[in-house]
Amino acid sequence: MNEIEFTNCSIKQHIITSKDTHNNYLLFLFIAIWLINSLSVKASDTILQNNKYLNIISPSELRLMLDTGDTELIDVRNTDEFAARHIKEARSVPLSILDLNQICDKTKKIVLQCESGSRSKLAAKKLQALSKDLKIYKS
């Protein structure tokens, strides 16, 4: 009879251990998901781009910035793309001719915009190489 009770006790202990392992797994999974979400890049976060910081903003953040009047929106697509469609407040300065002389007010925040983001990244690199004082954002 002692042997049977010992076996039952052992089985109960094994079940508790399995349950604890399951709870530990769930806790680990919860923490992992929380970390991934908290470390993911949000629209307004700053990312490191070739040792320079480039601020990424959302369309709603762009609207707020444009409404304050302290922002210059530069569309770096070619002139045909700009003519086909563009944001009302945007000014067309194709990437091929972009330089500091194209920036009207260097004290304003500069938002660079293109179709997919690749040309605005190149434009940001180009402007950052010319002046470290510009506040550059990418929409």
pLDDT one-digit tens code per residue, 111-133? 999 998 889 989 988 888 888 87
DSSP tag of 96: G
pLDDT one-digit tens code per residue, 64-83? 999 999 899 999 999 999 99
pTM of the model: 0.61
C-alpha 124/C-alpha 118 separation (Å) is 10
Q: Domain locations in the chain?
A: 1-40, 46-138
∠ CA(132), CA(76), CA(118), 5° rounding?
A: 80
> In the block, which residue shows the tokens 């002692």?
2
Percent of the chain clearing pLDDT 70 (strictly above) = 71
Q: Assign domain 46-138 to a CATH class.
A: alpha beta
C-alpha 127/C-alpha 117 separation (Å) is 15
CA dihedral 42, 44, 49, 51 (to 10 degrees): -110
